[in-house]
Structure 1
Amino acid sequence: MNIRVATPDDLPVIHALAHRIWPVAYREILSSDQLTYMLRLFYNEAELARGMTAGEHFFIADAPTGSVGFSGHTHHFGDRTTRLNKLYVDSSDRSSGIGKQLVLAVKRAACEVGDQRITLNVNKYNPAIGFYRHLGFEVVRSEVIDIGSGYVMDDHVMECGL
């Protein structure tokens, strides 16, 4: 497995991964309508390109069979804070250490720019909360974010010191 920095040429890969991973990851949490809405809102190639241009950094996890996961993060999101915006791994590759390797890559990148913590949002019903706790993240608050069209993100905000 190889963790690499994504370039603009990788945006179609990230788009395809999101559309492959999300329906499995969120089928028990989100309605199919909300899932479709969020994929269209956050994971169209134009939005991914806008994020990259605005300073979002992506890592891609490549296995011998192809790309199997990705992360997205933004440095200096707050006071010495990197925000982990995205972390997704194919369901068939979970529990293989890929998610942990992606988080460690984000932690190293955050340290390199002088940030002292990482923050993220995770759906309150997402089993990944346990994964994040295992990596040292703690819930610091909860929030409900209106994302339009009658949909909200009902999340925990988690943080981890570096």
Structure 2
Amino acid sequence: MHTSSIIVTITDDTALLRSLAERSFLPTYKPFISEEQVLYMFERMYASESLERQIRELGHRFFIAYKENEPAGFASLECNCGIAGAAKLQKLYVLPEFQGAAIGFSLMNAVEAFAAKQEQNEVFLNVNRYNNAVSFYERQGYRIYMEEDIDIGNGYFMNDYRMRKSLAAK
């Protein structure tokens, strides 16, 4: 896998994050969640105030992957998020035109390396049970350990798997 032209950096540029989310969020969820729910979720997670709160109050670190100097995807990680020694991968999105170009792989490596430096023992995440990303996470060494249905308001639910990976081997 050739990833040498991919650079991952940490950012707090909320305008860039929202722009990337606008281009990746709807295509990710539209195949299995209603457009109304996707738009509701998007506004809750990617409004400028929400992104600012995630960075300033919740301590999310946002990672941007660039391929040949063009933003291609992003991830966010929250360390020490209520489970001792565990970090939560809050977001991972790759722009549709960059899928299959090792962007997700590069973001996962950066997130896991950062979590390990923060003395986190594992990374866990939630992923919709119908999302094709489940198999991507399994290929990265994540394992399903529970299912949960999360009420996100407005009559909507996230029907997720919770997955985790130990960082002990890193």
- Band the TM-score falls in, shorter-chain normalisation: over 0.9
Structure 1 portions without partners, runs of 5+: none
Which stretches of structure 1, 4 residues or longer, exceed 4 Å deviation after superposition?
none
TM-score by length of 1: 0.96
Give the match for residue 61 of structure 1.
Answer: 65
**Pairs within 5 Å for 1:1-162:** 1-7=6-12, 10-54=13-57, 55-64=59-68, 66-77=70-81, 78-162=83-167
Please give the secondary structure, in 2, of the residue aligned with 1:33: helix
Task: Quote the offset at 1:91 in angstroms.
Answer: 1.2
Q: Deviations over 1:104-138 (max 9, x none)?
A: 11111111011110000000000100000000000
TM-score by length of 2: 0.92
Structure 2 portions without partners, runs of 5+: 1-5
CA distance in 2, matches of 1:65, 1:33: 34
Task: Quote the offset at 1:68 in angstroms.
Answer: 1.2
Equivalent pairs, count: 160
Amino acid at match of 1:15: R
CA distance in 1, matches of 2:49, 2:71: 20
CA RMSD of aligned residues (A): 0.9
Please give the secondary structure, in 2, of the residue aligned with 1:58: strand
